Amino acid sequence: MECKVIILCTFYLVFASVQAIKVNLNKAWKQDLGWEINCSWVIPEGDSLQSVRLYQNNQQFLIYRPETDGASTHVVYRRIEDKMSTSCAVLDDARQKGTCVISLELYQPQRFNVTMACEVSGERPYFIIQKEEIVVEKLVPPTDAVFTNITVDQETGRVTLTCGAEGVPLPHLTWTIADQKVPSDFAGGDWNATSKLWHAWSVFSYTPTSSTVAVCTPTVISEGKTRTIKTGHAAKYNEARNIQGGVFNTIVTVLLLFLLR
């Protein structure tokens, strides 16, 4: 009995002294592409990489083993909603450091949150395993709002502003005058297949004064277990500032014509 206890205690002490594998899993939104998920790892001294398993929504889609796959591997899956490109590689001869990069090029708007997982396993005799998960939310903060069109009725002085912004989900564009919310005249949106974002637009008409500032603020709202709100930089229109800008542009144009004579 004492012998068994000693063996078990010795095994426990040896196993407890083995350091854990460090796994770092992060995500980033890439303009005109979609999501990029990066899994990097560091395996403690005396051990090396046995395998890396990658999962999407708890389903394994790739296993990378340096012994059979070599120092690196690259796999592409084309699906209806996206193209998943995965590159895995060890970064040193000891196979203790490495990375897997997953690129999700969106063909369609993202409809659901996606859970990605990276499981890194060491070699014998310990076969240490470390698994990390990350949720890729259907949420991209809005771009800064911009006025895509400004028209002025020369007879009435009424100004019509068209404001636009992009994000996921479709951004809400809120108009305010003197800190008071005002309704838009028209609003809409569609998915931009190039930027991989929803493009929102809104039209607002009003009669400005020199002190009046029209503000268009973009906001995206994600409805899940928790309500997430992200707000972008607003676009602002002021008649006085735009007149000053117009005068400045006129002066610059006259000077250029004079120099080119």
Q: How far is CA 210 from CA 65, 90, 254, in A?
A: 68, 63, 26
151 shares a domain with 132: no
Nearest in space to 66 (alpha carbons), one of 37, 85, 88: 88
Identify the domain boundary among 105, 136, 167. Answer: 136
99 token code pair? 């990375």
pLDDT of residue 138: 93
Largest CA distance in the chain: 106
pLDDT of residue 210: 80
Identify the domain boundary among 88, 114, 136. Answer: 136
Enclosing domain of residue 207: 146-260
pLDDT of residue 46: 87
Checking 110-115 for CB contacts under 8 A at 24+ apart, the result is 110/34, 110/81, 110/138, 110/168, 111/81, 111/138, 112/138, 113/137, 113/138, 113/224, 114/56, 114/57, 115/55, 115/56, 115/57, 115/58
The answer to whether the pTM exceeds 0.85 is no
206 token code pair? 């009003």
Q: Is 10 within a domain?
A: no
220 shares a domain with 132: no
What is the phi/psi pair of residue 82, to 5°?
A: -165, 175
Considering only CA atoms, give the Rg of the chain.
28
Residue 214's CB: how many other CB atoms inside 10 A?
23
For residue 133, the one-letter residue type is E
Q: Is 206 within a domain?
A: yes
Q: What is the C-alpha separation between 101 and 122, in angstroms, rounded?
A: 19
Q: What is the C-alpha separation between 42 and 192, in angstroms, rounded?
A: 39
* Strand-pair partners of 53: 63, 119
Q: For residues 100 and 64, is the Cβ–Cβ distance under 8 A? A: yes
127 token code pair? 């076969």
- CA 21 to chain CA centroid, Å, is 27
192 shares a domain with 88: no
57 shares a domain with 129: yes
Check which CATH number belongs to the domain holding 208 and give it: 2.60.40.10
167 shares a domain with 91: no
Q: What is the mean pLDDT of each run of 10 residues along the chain (261 residues)?
A: 43 51 97 96 93 97 96 96 97 95 96 95 88 95 97 94 97 95 96 96 93 94 82 91 38 38 45
30 shares a domain with 129: yes
227 shares a domain with 189: yes
Q: Is 225 within a domain?
A: yes
150 token code pair? 């400004």
pLDDT of residue 2: 52
Q: Is 118 within a domain?
A: yes
pLDDT of residue 124: 76
Nearest in space to 196 (alpha carbons), one of 56, 25, 82: 82
Q: Is 122 within a domain?
A: yes
Q: For residues 175 and 147, is the Cβ–Cβ distance under 8 A? A: no
Q: What is the number of structural domains in the chain?
A: 2
